[in-house]
Amino acid sequence: MSLQGSLKDIAVADLIQHHCVEKKTVWLQIQRAGKSAEVFIKEGNVVHAALDQMQGEEVIYEILGWDEGTFYIESDILPPLTTVHRNWTALLLEGARRLDEQNLLTTHEEKSGMAKMDEILKQMSEEINGFVDAQVIGMDGLNIAQYSRAKVNLELIAAQLTLLMKLLDTAVKKSEADILEDNLLTTQTHYVMMRFLPGKQHYLAVVTDRKSANLGNLRLVTGVYLERLNASMPK
Amino acid sequence: MTKLEELLQNVRDEIGADLVGSDIVGVDGFSVAGFSVDPNLNREAISAHFALAMKLALTVCEKLNLGELEDNLVTADKHITLCRSLGDGSYFWILDVKKDATLGIVRLTMNDYAPKLWEAIPR
């Protein structure tokens, strides 16, 4: 009997667990992004796994992290050799532990990336006359980095400015001026400069006091720091 | 030619070849006067979008206590668009110039003509 499906519908761990609990003998092929792994389960035990040049338990730990791709299952195919010696529950527990560790590491890297962006904004503030506030804001309206010298409602600024950026982006497209690069609001007391980071998923917003700010300096400095912010953006 | 159109023509003469188009738009998004050097552009649609953006920009400045909005300068890869309120804020003046235009001159010209345009709008 054969069966096939998508990893979006069922996780690799569930596929293995199901066949082991049912004491089945199956050959499981899992494919993702041009890679193809195979897992042999014999009478409810994982006995062999292979992926490229890799064989054994490490293959299982690798494919447990695959959340996209397809699988194909063929019953009653015997393994050509034995490369896995742990029982299936220990395998899945170790796999889950490794995935947790990996996720923690990614979260830590993201947090340190954002802390770095806060630091870059602080450095930028020292080069802009009349600096009040700077934020890196996503097009979802949430800020991911900020440095402020004034008591301001950061969430309100992020949400309002994002709406404006979206509207201006549409207006610019309509006018066939093609790509919005930046927007400068001049009020009686402040300048608000907004500039897209490459990829247009985020933008830098800088608020300055108009009396002491210099427009040329503001444009120049924000241009330089855009590159640095983009380089430290958590991927 | 109406007084408004005459004033816009004067602006065109002063800014010269850098000017791409200009419109006087009500807060409702309808243009009362304007022109474009590119006849294929749908100026009415563009002006309506920028009028909407200006309304939002005014709200943003008010909510964030940034003071009264004087103008909004939008830089795109081909053009620069300057938007500002006229008179009591019931009309916007939208002016497009080429990317390499001398912005200082454009701004000074706008400062000079904004009160005249407001006076010329029929009320």
What was the pLDDT predicted at A183?
94
Contact A186 B72 (CB under 8 A): yes
Q: Does B71 sit within 8 Å of A190, measured CB to CB?
A: no
Give φ, ψ of A185 to 5 degrees: -95, 130
Q: Does B39 touch chain A (CB under 8 A)?
A: no
Q: Under DSSP, is residue A72 helix (H, G, I), strand (E, B) or coil? A: strand
**CB under 8 Å to A108, separation ≥6 — which residues?**
none
Interface test with A, best of B44, B60, B71 (most A CBs within 10 A): B60
Q: Mark yes or no for CB contact A160/B76 under 8 Å.
A: no
Work out the number of other CB atoms within 10 angstroms of the CB of residue A123.
11
Residue of chain A minimizing CA distance to B79: A177
Q: Which of B46, B64, B72 sits opposite A183 (nearest CB)?
A: B72
B63 touches chain A (CB under 8 A): yes
Q: B63: which chain A residues are within 8 Å (Cβ-Cβ)?
A: 156, 160
Tell me what pLDDT residue A110 has: 66
User: What pLDDT digit, counting tens, does each position of B40-88 carry?
Assistant: 777 788 888 889 899 999 988 888 888 899 999 999 988 899 999 999 9
pLDDT of residue A233: 82
Q: Which of B99, B70, B94 is nearest to B83 (CA)?
A: B94
- CATH number of the domain at B14, please: 3.30.450.30
Give A115-155 as a DSSP string. HHHHHHHHHHHTTSTTEEEEEEEETTS-EEEEEESS---HH
Q: Which residues of A68-80 are buried (b: 16+ CB within 10 A; e: fewer)?
A: ebebebeeebebe
| pLDDT value of residue A27 | 94
What residues in A contact B96, CB-CB < 8 Å?
175, 177
**Domain, as residue range, for B10:** 3-120
Query: Is B73 close to A190, i.e. CB distance below 8 A?
Result: no
A69 is written with which tokens? 């791709």
Sort A81 into a burial class: Cβ within 10 Å, 0-12 / 13-18 / 19+.
Answer: exposed
Measured CA to CA, the distance from residue A184 to residue A206 in angstroms comes to: 10
Check residue A153 and give its pLDDT. Answer: 73
Cα separation values, A1 from A71, A77, B121, Å: 14, 10, 81
Report d(CA A132, CA A195) in Å as an integer.
Answer: 16
Domains: count for chain B: 1
- Would you call A177 and B57 a contact, using CB atoms and an 8 Å cutoff? no
Distance CA A212, CA A149 (A): 15
Residues A163 and A155 sit within 8 Å (Cβ to Cβ): no
pLDDT band at B6 (very low <50, low <70, confident <90, very high): very high
Q: Is some CB atom of chain A closer than 8 A to the CB atom of B100?
A: no
Per-position pLDDT tens, chain A of length 235: 688 888 888 889 888 988 998 899 999 999 988 889 999 999 999 999 999 888 999 999 999 988 888 999 999 989 999 999 988 888 888 888 888 887 777 776 666 767 789 999 999 999 999 999 999 999 988 888 999 888 777 777 888 889 899 988 888 887 766 788 899 999 999 999 999 998 888 999 999 999 999 888 998 999 999 989 988 887 6
Name the residue with tokens 């008591």: A151
Q: How far apart are CA A139 and CA A203, in angstroms?
A: 8
Residue B21: closest C-alpha in chain A: A175
- Predicted local distance difference test score (pLDDT) of residue B46: 82
Question: Alpha-carbon distance B5 to A221, whole Å?
Answer: 40
Tell me the sheet residues that pair with A28.
A39, A73
CATH topology assigned to domain A111-231: Beta-Lactamase (3.30.450)
B58 touches chain A (CB under 8 A): no
Mutate to test the interface with A, among B62, B70, B74 (most CBs of A within 10 A): B74
- A189 and B75 in contact by Cβ < 8 A? no
Is B57 near chain A, with CB under 8 Å?
Answer: yes
CA-atom Rg of chain B in angstroms: 14
In chain A, domain spans: 2-86, 111-231
- pLDDT, residue A158, reads 85
User: CA-to-CA distance for A219 and B3, rounded, in angstroms?
Assistant: 37
Radius of gyration of chain A (CA): 26
